[in-house]
Amino acid sequence: MSKSIKTRDQIESKYKWNIEAMYPDEKEWEEDYKKAEELGDEFLSFAGRLSESPDVMLEAFRLKDQIWQTVEKVYVYARMKSDEDTRVAKYQSMVNRSQALVASTAAKLSFFTPELLEIPEEKLLDYVSMSEGLKLYEHVINQILRMKAHVLSKAEEKIIAKYSELTSATNDIFNMINNADIKFGSIEDEDGELVELTHGRYIRFMESPVRRVRKDAFERLYAAYEAQKNTLATTYNYNTKTDVVTSRIRNYSSSLEAALHADNIKTEVYDNLIDVVNRNLPLIHRYVDLRKEALKLDEVHMYDLYAPLVEVPMEEIKYEEALVMVEEGLTPLGEDYIHNMKRGFESGWIDVFENEGKRSGAYSFGSYDSMPYILLNYNGRLKDVFTIAHEIGHAMHSFYTRKTQPFIYGGHSIFTAEVASTVNENLLMRDLLEKEDDAKVKKYLLNIYIEDFRATVFRQTMFAEFEKITHEAVEAGEVLTTEWLCDNYLELNKKYFGKNMVYDPQIRMEWARIPHFYNAFYVYKYATGYSAAIALSEKILTEGERARNSYIEFLKSGESDDPIPLLKLAGVDMSKPEPIEKAMVVFEQLLDELERLL
């Protein structure tokens, strides 16, 4: 593949998304922008009137949906056009304008929920029973009512809102330290060239086959965090204290309960994850031993965890070949899924190749009114094929949901969103493993699969357990000093990786570099989502049509219910430990097979 990056006009149109379908003439974007502003002003007329009658309330709900649907389309178009080439000032301006529109709209509509909560619950539910139109909003109304016990008086809420900029300061401080101020210096790469160590390059160095490079990167990175350990400990201590104090102000029994309440998830779900993973830690200990043997090491260090066990020179995979691989891998999802996915491939869902100025990475996006779009930077690697499978999972989730659900339920919670993408990755991997005859390539694929599993389930659960320990300590009146954080984090590592790992002192500081710790009790969703996807993939492969149909119904459901009931539709009950236990069985099977082949 050519190393030169093309300009956007040098890329064939068949490899670009058809974003013009949203606004064939950008005058229409301006018209929608103005329309959203006017409708927002119109909505203010409902202030103080929501309790007048079921008809007035229904009219307000419908106008609110119309406003946000218009705002969403305006924002999505501007964002995606800017991502095509981030250097274009016109679209930078449109993004800034659309962000301002989101903020001003939120302000105009902000009275709605507090005013609904002022209506007596019995009267509100009577309105729902009296109005056929309001029945559509019953789930949303129940969600609002569920929050009632934790919503304070208008005066108290106003104070909290004014202080919100201050309570988010610890996250901003960490981001400034982590992204702007901290410098890691340089190390010599595999060729002896001096290369600056950055966040982005760190993982690449950790995957280096040259152990000296891995060790140097590891030590240099953590030396930088060690130099700022007291500031980082104080920042994290107050971040955790903010979570605890806020949960108490809002009458929650714990900060964990407060964090899970929005998704209507009980704390037992969090505890189940930690409990099941803890019981299966001997599998990770086995994997550490296998790494030591496969890499022919006298002892295995923390910086050896990401080194590839098998080096396979992979040939470039043409984009069209990648689509065929994805299609074949996802065949178990049925004819309707494959048919609609292929239509997406052919009708401009995907922006495929890198061009000058294009946003890096990959994502699935789009508005309720648009086709589900995918941004890629396809480079012909196997990893890129899995990225297609992942993002098409999100896109098909959006496709089925928007086709079936009204706007109000047209999105997805994070708890459910990653299931659709990870199911696809698992099905693709299963297909590749089943077809592969070359033992070396099979070992390579198994290593990728096991590493993905380890990083997503075991590692994220260790993070989740650390967050639980830190918040419980603050709730008990303890202060999270540097030594306390380092000691407790080291003990967790010892528990998760076992007695045969050498615990380099630098790993004590790893807590200091995890951005997700500043969004409390979030990372567990990666582990539960991955576990749910593993369980669903197995069901689809073993039970066939019945499991597939249940899964498609889940994809169609959007946010029409809370995450746990929605996943029950698909065939997994994440309120119980069984899906995580089944995922552990799959991990053990993969480990058995890799041990046999190595």
| 436 torsion bin: left (phi>0), alpha (psi -120 to 50), beta (else) | beta
Q: Can you give the pLDDT at residue 161? A: 72
Q: Can you give the pLDDT at residue 142? A: 94
- The whole-angstrom separation of Cα 168 and Cα 284 is 36
Alpha helices in 372-412 (DSSP H): 382-404
Q: Can you give the pLDDT at residue 63? A: 98
> Span 114-124, mean pLDDT?
93
**Model pLDDT for residues 125-176, shown as the tens digit of each residue:** 999 999 999 999 999 999 999 988 898 876 787 788 777 768 888 988 998 8
Per-residue tokens: 173:
């401080």
Residues 6 or more apart whose CB falls under 8 angstroms from that of 82 comprise 88, 91, 92, 94, 95, 359
Judge whether residue 94 has pLDDT over 70.
yes
- The whole-angstrom separation of Cα 31 and Cα 475 is 52
Q: Can you give the pLDDT at residue 103? A: 87
Judge whether residue 1 has pLDDT over 60.
no
Judge whether residue 4 has pLDDT over 80.
no
Cβ proximity of 429 and 445 under 8 Å: yes
> Span 508-529, mean pLDDT?
94
Per-residue tokens: 595:
């041990």
pTM for the full predicted model? 0.89
Cβ proximity of 184 and 224 under 8 Å: yes
**Model pLDDT for residues 223-268, shown as the tens digit of each residue:** 999 999 999 999 999 999 999 999 999 999 999 999 999 899 999 9
- The whole-angstrom separation of Cα 243 and Cα 480 is 14
Closest CA to 61 of 406, 399, 401: 406
> Span 529-542, mean pLDDT?
94
Q: Can you give the pLDDT at residue 598? A: 86
Give the confidence band of 458 by pLDDT, cuts at 50, 70, 90: very high
**Model pLDDT for residues 581-592, shown as the tens digit of each residue:** 999 999 999 999
Q: Can you give the pLDDT at residue 164? A: 74
Residues 6 or more apart whose CB falls under 8 angstroms from that of 356 comprise 5, 6, 7, 8, 85, 87
Q: How far is CA 91 from CA 23, 119, 153, 369, in A?
A: 14, 43, 41, 20
3-state secondary structure of 37: helix
Q: Can you give the pLDDT at residue 107? A: 87
- The whole-angstrom separation of Cα 465 and Cα 477 is 19
**Ramachandran angles phi, psi of 13, nearest 5°:** -60, -30
Q: Active-site residue numbers?
A: 391
Q: Can you give the pLDDT at residue 233? A: 98
**Model pLDDT for residues 463-518, shown as the tens digit of each residue:** 999 999 999 999 999 999 999 999 999 999 999 999 999 999 999 999 999 999 99
Judge whether residue 37 has pLDDT over 50.
yes
Q: Supply the angle between the helices 563-570 and 414-435 in degrees, to the nearest 10.
A: 30
Q: Can you give the pLDDT at residue 160? A: 81
How distant is the alpha carbon of residue 318 from its chain centre?
A: 28
Judge whether residue 183 has pLDDT over 50.
yes
Residue-range domains of the chain with CATH: 18-151 (1.20.140.70), 183-227 (1.10.287.830)
Q: What percent of the chain has pLDDT over 70?
A: 99
> Which of 143-157, 281-295, 408-422, 565-579 has the least mean pLDDT?
143-157
Judge whether residue 24 has pLDDT over 90.
yes
Q: How far is CA 52 from CA 58, 116, 127, in A?
A: 11, 11, 10
- The whole-angstrom separation of Cα 190 and Cα 212 is 8
DSSP H or E run through 279: helix 267-279
DSSP H or E run through 31: helix 26-43
Judge whether residue 3 has pLDDT over 70.
no
Mean pLDDT of the chain: 94
- The whole-angstrom separation of Cα 537 and Cα 431 is 11
Judge whether residue 2 has pLDDT over 50.
no
